[in-house]
Structures are given as structure tokens and as C-alpha cells.
Amino acid sequence: MKITIGKAPDNDLVADEAQVSRHHACLYRTDDGAYMLEDLQSTNGTFVNGVQIVRKRVTQADRICLGDAYETSLEAILKAGNDYSEEFARLKPVYDEYIREKIRIQSSNQFKTRLFQALPFAIPGIIGVLIGFAGKGSPTWFAVSLLITVCAPVIGIYFGARQSAKIPEQLQALTNQFKIDYVCPKCGTFLGEIPWESLKNKKHCPVPTCRARWSED
Ligand SMILES: [Zn+2]
């Protein structure tokens, strides 16, 4: 994509300044992702950090001047061209982390839930055997053993149910944060649970009025 700068209204960045030519300069991205600023044979020249250029790689740190008076920056030019590719790239780890965390919550809870539910069924058997040895057929010990056998699964199921109830709570908190972080860098609209790669292939913000771009057209 090419972003044009100049005094004419058909430029992406319109610079209404006497020393700026109608189509003064343009910015584009090279194959290796660098930004190249090019002078379009302007009357008063294009300068990077005070040095006149014809074509030069520029970064966020460079001071860009059109003629003597009009100063701008790479960031300002990119914003004028609706190029949000750098900000968009930072959303990839946000999406990856969300998916990783979601799977972690679900699997760890499933394990704990099953553990809580399974343990009580195993414990009474063990206790029953121990009490059988210790009590030597005493009716009191037999009653205690029976009570544990009945109660333990109930308690286990209760804790298991409580554990599984935590899943929606934790997932809700995770989703809420994701909705704050996974947004269009320009208009702030939540991008949905759409994988980052799919959004990248769409090349621009799904909101038609936003016009933010994050990949070559
Ligand atoms: Zn947007």
C-alpha cells in the first residue's frame, strides 16, 4: 500500500502548507517490512533529520520535513493512510494467550472435578477394610463404616459440582478481559472470537466506516 502526502485534496495526508507541493512525497512498505519515504520531485524537497532525500528508509524516531516548514512523522503518515499493521501485529499474542488460557481453565477444572467425584468412592472401601480389622465385628464400628460409605460420595459430588461451577466464572472473567484487549487499534471495536490469522487475511477492520488497514491490499 502506498500513502501519499501533499497539498492536493486527493492525498492520504493533506498538508496545507505553502512550501508543500501538490503531490510532494509518498510512503510505502518494502518486502522486508521497512518503511520507505520517497520524494515525488517536489519543489522544496523532502528531508529526513535535516538531510534532503530522494528515497530513504524511515523509522518512528526520524524527523520528516516537507520543505522547511511542514514537519511530520512516520506515525502520523501511517495514521493518515489508515495503516495499523504494527498495532495489529501486537494482537497476535493476545489471541494466542486467550486460547491457551481457555484450554487451561477447562482441562484443569475437569481434572479437579473428576478427582473430587472419584475419591469418595474409593475412600469408604479403604476405611471399611481398616475398620473391619480394627473393630473386629463390633456393631458400632460397622455403623461408622456404613455412615462413611453413605456420606462420602454425597460430599464428593457436592465438591465436584462446586468445582465445575467455577468454570463459567473463570471463563467469564477471561472473556471480559479478552473483549477489552482484542479490539481494532483504530476504532476500538471488539474483533470477536475470530482467530488472528483469519483477521489478518481479511486485511482491514470489519467495521466499514473505520477504514483501518493491517495488511497489503
Ligand atoms: Zn476499526
Q: Where does residue 33 fall: left (phi above 0), alpha (psi -120 to 50 degrees), or beta otherwise?
A: left
**What is the structure's pLDDT at 217?**
55
Calpha distance 184→190 (Å, rounded): 7
* CA nearest to 183, candidates 123, 98, 114: 98
How far is ligand 1, taken at its centre, from the CA of residue 11, in Å? 21
How far is ligand 1, taken at its centre, from the CA of residue 179, in Å? 14
How far is ligand 1, taken at its centre, from the CA of residue 23, in Å? 28
Edge-to-edge strand list for the sheet holding 46-48? 51-53, 46-48, 64-66, 70-72
**What is the structure's pLDDT at 19?**
93
pLDDT tens digits for the chain (217 residues)?
789 999 999 999 999 999 999 999 999 989 888 999 999 999 999 999 999 999 999 999 999 999 988 999 999 999 898 989 889 999 999 999 999 999 998 888 788 878 777 777 777 677 777 777 776 667 777 787 778 777 877 888 888 888 788 888 899 999 999 999 999 999 999 999 999 999 999 999 999 899 899 876 5
How far is ligand 1, taken at its centre, from the CA of residue 173, in Å? 24
* CA nearest to 165, candidates 99, 105, 98: 105
Cell for 160?
465436584
Give the predicted TM-score (pTM) of the model.
Answer: 0.69
How far is ligand 1, taken at its centre, from the CA of residue 84, in Å? 9
How far is ligand 1, taken at its centre, from the CA of residue 66, in Å? 29
> What are φ and ψ of residue 23, in 5° steps?
-125, 95
How far is ligand 1, taken at its centre, from the CA of residue 208, in Å? 8
How far is ligand 1, taken at its centre, from the CA of residue 26, in Å? 24
